[in-house]
Amino acid sequence: MPLTRIPLPHADVLLDPDFLGPGEAASLLEELSSSIAWRHEPIKLFGKEVMQPRLTAWHGDPTARYSYSGIMLDPQPWTLTLQQLREQVETAAQTHFNSVLLNLYRTGQDSMGWHADNEPELGSSPIIASVSLGATRRFRLRPRDPQYLPHAPVSLDLSTGSLLLMRGSTQQHWLHAVPKTARPTAPRLNLTFRLVVNR
Ligand SMILES: O=C(O)CCC(=O)C(=O)O
Ligand SMILES: [Fe+2]
């Protein structure tokens, strides 16, 4: 299935639920789960350091340095597997990426809070390509400023092998999150490919 646009005002969000076949997604999940040097990093929340409710890793070109939620991430080099996936994603997204942030949601209690990927390192209209592997998790979007942009929150179920693109003014006008779920939930691995621009 091709990328299909999700009709949202002031956003450019596209989804291909079947970007990777089930077999390809399963072997990628298995390989990346065991071969990536997963880290449990702190995050600064209102000036206080707390541990992130998920594991992370950051790979990319050496020049793609990026400060994320108050911590500086030095990229690990591309592995063959990440490099091959990057090329597939670049072809689908018709753009270039120089880095990838990996998130491992170990259980339903792991999550990602409301945020926009609008760090200055990503430029004025960031393109983010998100590949999901493993358990389906609910991805939520809501307007950053509901006074200016009144719209109900939107939910997308991101299943294994799916590709989600966010581009244009999406990060400017919308926030996104992966909430916790009380349901017993297997691990989910998400990769967000990004272009970090040198200033
Ligand atoms: O896990 C996801 O689907 C979202 C990840 C995300 O928003 C991020 O890495 O910035
Ligand atoms: Fe994000």
Q: Tell me: pLDDT of 100 over 70.
A: yes
| Ligand 1 atom showing the smallest separation from residue 132 Cα | 3
Indicate the pairing of strand 128-134 with strand 174-178: unpaired
Ligand 1 center from residue 190 Cα (angstroms)? 7
CB-based contacts of 4, cutoff 8 Å, min separation 6: 14, 15, 16
CA distances from residue 75 to 28, 62, 78, 115, 170 in whole angstroms, order as listed: 20, 6, 9, 21, 25
Please tell me if the CB atom of residue 130 comes closer than 6 angstroms to any atom of ligand 1. Answer: yes
What's the pTM?
A: 0.96
Please tell me if the CB atom of residue 139 comes closer than 6 angstroms to any atom of ligand 1. Answer: yes
Q: 145-184, pLDDT tens digit by residue? A: 999 999 999 999 999 999 999 999 999 999 999 999 999 9
Measure CA 144 to chain center.
Answer: 18
Please tell me if the CB atom of residue 99 comes closer than 6 angstroms to any atom of ligand 1. Answer: no
Please tell me if the CB atom of residue 176 comes closer than 6 angstroms to any atom of ligand 1. Answer: yes
Q: Tell me: pLDDT of 94 over 70.
A: yes
Please tell me if the CB atom of residue 100 comes closer than 6 angstroms to any atom of ligand 1. Answer: no
Ligand 1 center from residue 4 Cα (angstroms)? 19
CA distances from residue 50 to 74, 139, 153, 190 in whole angstroms, order as listed: 20, 23, 27, 21
- Residue 92 amino acid letter: A
Q: Tell me: pLDDT of 71 over 90.
A: no
CA of 140, nearest ligand number: 1
CA-proximal residue: ligand 1, atom 10 (nearest) = 117
pLDDT value, residue 66: 74
User: Considering the chain, what percentage of its residues have pLDDT values greater than 90?
Assistant: 85
User: In this predicted model, which residue has the larger pLDDT, 121 or 13?
Assistant: 13
Range in 73-77, 90-94, 169-173 with the lowest mean pLDDT: 73-77
Ligand 1 center from residue 149 Cα (angstroms)? 22
Q: 106-137, pLDDT tens digit by residue? A: 999 999 999 999 988 898 899 999 999 999 99
Distance, CA of 101 to CA of 92 (rounded, Å)? 18
Rounded to 10 deg, the angle between the 22-35 and 80-93 helix axes is 140
| Ligand 1 atom showing the smallest separation from residue 177 Cα | 7
Q: Tell me: pLDDT of 10 over 80.
A: yes
DSSP result, 105-130: E-STT--EEEE----GGG-SS--EEE
pLDDT value, residue 73: 66
Ligand 1 center from residue 14 Cα (angstroms)? 15
Q: Are 107 and 188 in contact (CB under 8 A)?
A: no
